[in-house]
């Protein structure tokens, strides 16, 4: 039985990764209301134990996992290791004596507890001594409601506030000011302050590599010379080439050897990876991971659905889709400065065309908007099951590649 997941990053105040919230479905057809909350939680646990595994999805960080009222009473969280999860009590749970006792028992066993989409109710104050994190939904809560939650938790300094569905830097800064410790949402994938962009010398080197490798007939001598003229780029290429990911008969000792071993397709991916790393140095690593996930997903969707197009062009579309957020610049100005085809520029600016459809689908899967993703697949006759598999594979592929670099 197939099993699929979206993972949404939760960041610290310094925008480093704190945890992932894991959102699961058996398939896109398995969206609510076809199955109830309790069935979804049961399948979630089974999937973690027998399919994906926590370690695979979270890479050593905590996993926030939703639990219903009944699943908490039935002790479902105890099936997962306390060191790896945060038990997220769904907003549909009703505060009462039985639920309180279940939470006390979980706390005594060492589990971290969080209240999801919290709306203040005096009954929940009985739970506060055992709650570690309260999540505030910035899209549903008014300023008055947010301030009430802050006021009600002041007597419980152990409780940390998590601002979720943060979509803009204005919301992020507001959440910082009221004392939130953790942040969930896609504010980091949008430009913070639009500004005019001037590329650094190291960035120009990678731009030149990108321009050459995506030509109809790339010049390997020019690519080799560019790498050999930049010590940092040479070091990164040789380290990347030595990764166990590549099955090689002997050690790679020169740039030319590495280029030959890669082949053109992998060379394009590596230069694209370099490009992303160069342009996102001051941003959360999750932004780089998201760009690589989109690139791989779009590439594989193109390869699966279209024979006439070049999959590497879809890879580049996915990769560049977050460039404006990486450098906090206007996407139109950026496209004027990049040596890519007019067709690619149009796709990224206007979000039209086949690659743009794949990109939109990837964005929906990132955000676990399962119904909208299902509708898009139906509209363009994409295989739902296969699209989900490719997304899951892209998430893991991106994590592996960024470690290699």
Task: Give per-residue pLDDT as tens, 318-340.
Answer: 999 999 999 898 899 888 888 78
Using the structure block, give the residue that is written with the tokens 């969280």: 77
Comparing CA positions, the residue from 209, 204, 298, 317 lying closest to residue 262 is 209
Confidence of residue 32 (pLDDT cuts 50, 70, 90): very low
Question: pLDDT at position 262, please?
Answer: 87
The pLDDT of residue 8 is: 93
181 touches 13 (CB < 8 A): yes
Domain chopping of the chain, boundaries = 4-185, 201-404
- Position 50 scores a pLDDT of 45
Cβ atoms of 29 and 388 closer than 8 Å: no
Q: For residue 361, give the nearest of 332, 335, 340, 390 by alpha carbon.
A: 390
* Confidence at residue 193, expressed as pLDDT on a 0 to 100 scale: 78
Average pLDDT over residues 7-27: 86
Confidence of residue 309 (pLDDT cuts 50, 70, 90): low
Q: How confident is the model over 134-156, as a mean pLDDT?
A: 95
Percent of the chain with pLDDT over 70: 90
Average pLDDT over residues 146-155: 95
pLDDT number for residue 381: 93
pLDDT at 55 over 80: no
Mean pLDDT of all residues in the chain? 86
Segment 172-188 shows an average pLDDT of 96
Q: Give the separation between CA 268 and CA 162, rounded to whole angstroms.
A: 39
* Cα gap 341→320, rounded to integer Å: 13
Contact 57, 5 (CB under 8 A): yes
Q: Which residue has the higher pLDDT, 105 or 194?
A: 105
First to last CA, the chain: 34
Q: What is the per-residue pLDDT for 277?
A: 82
Contact predicate 171/137, CB 8 Å: no
Q: What is the pLDDT of residue 1?
A: 43
* Residue count (the chain): 405
pLDDT at residue 170, rounded to an integer: 93
Q: Which of 46-50, 271-275, 345-349 has the highest mean pLDDT?
A: 345-349
> CA dihedral in degrees (25, 26, 29, 30; nearest 10)?
-70
How far is it, in rounded angstroms, from Cα 250 to Cα 392?
32
How large is the average pLDDT for residues 217-231?
89
Burial 59-82, CB ≥16 within 10 A → b, else e = eeebbbbbbbbebbebebbeebee
SS3 of the chain: helix, strand, coil, percent, to 5: 55, 10, 30
Model confidence at 291, in pLDDT bands (50, 70, 90)? very high
pLDDT for 53 equals 63
Quote the pTM value.
Answer: 0.86
CATH class of 4-185: alpha beta
Comparing 80-84, 186-190, 275-279, the range with the smallest average pLDDT is 275-279
User: What pLDDT shows up at residue 33?
Assistant: 37
Question: pLDDT tier at 273 (50, 70, 90 boundaries)?
Answer: confident
pLDDT tens across 95-121, in order?
A: 999 999 999 999 999 999 999 999 888
* 196 contacts: CB under 8 Å, gap ≥ 6: 329, 333
Highest mean pLDDT among 168-177, 201-210, 246-255, 335-344: 168-177
Range from 16-30, 72-86, 185-199 carrying the lowest mean pLDDT: 16-30
pLDDT at 248: 65
Check whether domain 201-404 has CATH 3.40.1350.10, yes or no: no
């Amino acid at each position: 039985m197939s099993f699929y997941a979206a993972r949404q990053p939760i960041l610290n105040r310094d925008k480093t990764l704190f945890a992932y919230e894991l959102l699961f479905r058996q398939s896109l057809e398995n969206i609510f209301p076809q199955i109830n909350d309790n069935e979804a939680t049961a399948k979630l646990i089974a999937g973690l134990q027998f399919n994906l595994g926590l370690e695979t999805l979270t890479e050593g960080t905590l996993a926030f996992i939703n639990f219903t009222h009944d699943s908490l009473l039935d002790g479902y969280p105890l099936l997962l290791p306390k060191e790896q999860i945060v038990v997220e009590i769904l907003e549909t749970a009703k505060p009462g004596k039985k639920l309180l006792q279940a939470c006390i028992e979980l706390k005594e066993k060492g589990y971290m507890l969080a209240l999801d989409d919290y709306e203040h109710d005096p009954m929940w104050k009985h739970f506060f001594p055992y709650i570690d994190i309260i999540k505030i939904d910035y899209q549903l809560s008014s300023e008055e409601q947010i301030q009430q939650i802050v006021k009600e938790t002041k007597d419980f300094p152990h409780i940390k506030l998590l601002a979720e569905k943060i979509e803009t830097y204005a919301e992020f800064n507001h959440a910082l000011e009221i004392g939130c410790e953790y942040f969930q949402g896609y504010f980091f994938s949008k430009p913070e302050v639009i500004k005019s962009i001037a590329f650094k010398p190291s960035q120009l080197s990678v731009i030149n590599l990108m321009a050459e490798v995506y030509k109809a007939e790339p010049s390997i001598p020019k690519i080799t010379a560019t790498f050999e003229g930049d010590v940092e780029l040479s070091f990164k290429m040789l380290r990347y080439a030595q990764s166990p990911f590549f099955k090689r008969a002997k050690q790679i000792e020169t740039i030319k050897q590495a280029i030959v071993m890669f082949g053109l397709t992998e060379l394009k991916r590596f230069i694209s990876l370099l490009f992303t790393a160069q342009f996102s140095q001051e941003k959360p690593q999750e932004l780089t991971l998201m760009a690589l996930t989109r690139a791989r997903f779009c590439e594989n969707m193109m390869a699966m659905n279209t024979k006439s197009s070049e999959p590497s062009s879809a890879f580049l579309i996915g990769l560049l889709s977050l460039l404006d957020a990486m450098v906090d610049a206007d996407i139109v100005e950026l496209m004027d400065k990049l040596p890519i085809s007019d067709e690619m520029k149009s796709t990224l600016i206007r979000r039209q065309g086949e690659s743009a459809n794949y990109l939109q689908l990837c964005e929906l899967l990132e955000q676990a908007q399962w119904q909208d993703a299902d509708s898009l697949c139906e509209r363009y006759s994409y295989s739902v099951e296969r699209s989900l598999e490719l997304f899951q594979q892209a998430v893991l592929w991106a994590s592996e590649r960024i470690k290699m670099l």
